[in-house]
Structure 1
Amino acid sequence: MPTIKTCTKCEQTKQIAEFHKKASNADGYSSYCRACQTEYNRQYKSSQVGRAVQTLSKTRYERRQAEKELGYEIEDTLLPFHIIMIQAKSECLYCRSELQPHEVTVDHVRSFRNGGTNTYDNLLPCCRRCNSRKGDKPLLSFLRQHAASDLQLRRVVFELAQRQGRGYYDVWRSLQDDVEAVMNDEQASIQR
């Protein structure tokens, strides 16, 4: 068993202990030393593609958790380029604050627990604060509480209509239906 190895990134010869184990390689160790691998990972995670892949992994994990809880499959057609397109927006659609690329989060308009899907037409860009505040609430309820104006509320509905390829009033009606469904569920649980 070798005690030294040359890193293919920095081309320095180092002790084998300075390499991560990797069973798929012939010698059982990574081709990059630990320092080079750490730097590579840092750069990848801060890149546009790296952020998109991390976000996609997170939404898929949340979908799987919701599927276990709800007992049925949730549609998932989301691809990395969908996340890149969403994260390319530089403002939160809900509060209109300017965002740096690493600050953009994706919000599921209709949450998994309320019948939502993990698809491009169910996602909007927003800041972490608005995403947390909205939670599982219906979009229209959240916007009525937190939108600065009716114009801002209309902008969000218009963006969603464009994304879904539907008419503005059709989307507005479906958002109102979401609010009514949640209210009916709450009333039913109170009466039990």
Structure 2
Amino acid sequence: MSKKSIETKVCRNCEQEKEISEFYVRSNGTVPYICASCERVAVVEREKARKGTFRYKCTVALKTARVSRKRAEEELGEPITDTLSLYDVLFTLGADDCVYCGRHCKQSEKTLEHIIPLLQGGTNTFDNIAMACTSCNSSKRDKPVTEFAQNHGIRAKNRVLERMVFGSGKEPEEVFGVLSAVSKRYEEVKGSDKTA
């Protein structure tokens, strides 16, 4: 009676001799140098490292902005312009100071902010996004920027105006006119909600 030999291999990572069945076999039939359990640990570590990167944070912010746009389109019943790219988000979130309060932000505090809320006619475009700290972004919510910036003074208004002028290439008067119109519409809707 002959004994069937079990084929083994030594994992280069954990340096243990293991059966071939404990290694992932590649599609071409070759067996890698690292066992399946070491490979699973390595994948988890690589994923953790990837999720800690600035690029990953920007990718998530872009996806979140797209989801917000779709929700707003459903609520409004009309399409919203969306030309936002990963590079727009990388550039925007690369800013150091919050567009509203002017405070220097750590990477973990940076959020992507729609200056004119999507539900109030804002677009998902480079000229309508800014970096805001988590505190300002959650406080502003869907308020018009002109109303929210009043709480932070003239410097906040100037920072927002500069950001929108820079992003759009329009004249400050034109951008200010757009912001004023959004604020007026917001007040009209807010006033009609109170009387209803």
TM-score between the two structures when normalised by the length of structure 2: 0.79
What's the CA shift for 1:78? 0.9
Alignment-derived partner of residue 22 in structure 2:
4
**Cα distance change, pair 113–141 in 1 and its aligned pair in 2 (3 A):** same
The residue identity in structure 2 corresponding to 1:12 is I
Size of the aligned set, in residue pairs, is 172
Query: Is the aligned partner of 1:13 residue 2:35?
Result: yes
Distance in 2 between residues matched to 1:37 and 1:61, nearest whole Å? 28
Does structure 1 residue 156 correspond to structure 2 residue 160? yes
* Structure 2 residue 63 is the aligned partner of structure 1 residue 57: yes
Q: Report which stretch shifted further, 72-81 or 135-144.
A: 72-81
Gaps of 5+ in 2: 1-19, 27-31
**Identity %, equivalent residues:** 24
Q: In the TM superposition, what whole-angstrom CA distance separates every residue of 1:138-181 from its partner, at most 9, and x where no partner exists?
A: 00000002x1x323322221221111111112211211111111
* The structure with more radius of gyration: 2
Q: Where does 1:127-166 land on structure 2 (aligned, <5 Å)?
A: 127-145=133-151, 147=152, 149-166=153-170
TM-score by structure 1 length? 0.81
Distance change (3 Å), C-alpha of 1:112 and 1:151: closer
Could you say which residue in structure 2 is the equivalent of 1:29? Answer: none
> Residues 122 and 39 of structure 1: is their aligned pair in 2 closer, same or farther, counting only changes over 3 Å?
same
**Does 2:180 match 1:176?**
yes
Is this contact kept in 2: 1:107–1:125, CA < 8 A? yes
| Unpaired runs of at least 5, structure 1 | 19-31
Report the Cα distance in structure 2 between the residues aligned to 1:73 and 1:11, rounded to whole angstroms. Answer: 52
Structure 1 stretches of 4+ with a deviation exceeding 6 A read none
Distance 2:67 2:42 in 1: 29
1:91 aligned to 2:113? no
Distance 1:33 1:151, change over 3 A: same
CA drift of 1:134 comes to: 0.5
